[in-house]
Structure 1
């Protein structure tokens, strides 16, 4: 009658299981974010090109003329 209860796996995960799941979720999210950032820097990627940022880049413009004080 007073038999010890068998250690059944409960429906709620243990602390270790919860932490492991959160770590896996975080790793997936960070990998996806890194892939997205890396995709922006690759030429020919399906992201915005330099012209889509609203005009010429500063490197395309000629240098400013020196002022007479700098001579």
Structure 2
């Protein structure tokens, strides 16, 4: 299976840069995400985590009002 992928890619000049770019994007994204998680305000995290519960309550209220 790997020979079907590796064979055509070997003929492309400069293809070795793509895995390096992919690794850099992956590393930078998760580094920024890790930094954001530890610097985010706890009030904001609490507010955002309660959104699904608030939406469920709104749906129940709408359903009760229609009946």
TM-score under structure 1 length normalisation: 0.39
Higher fraction of helix: 2
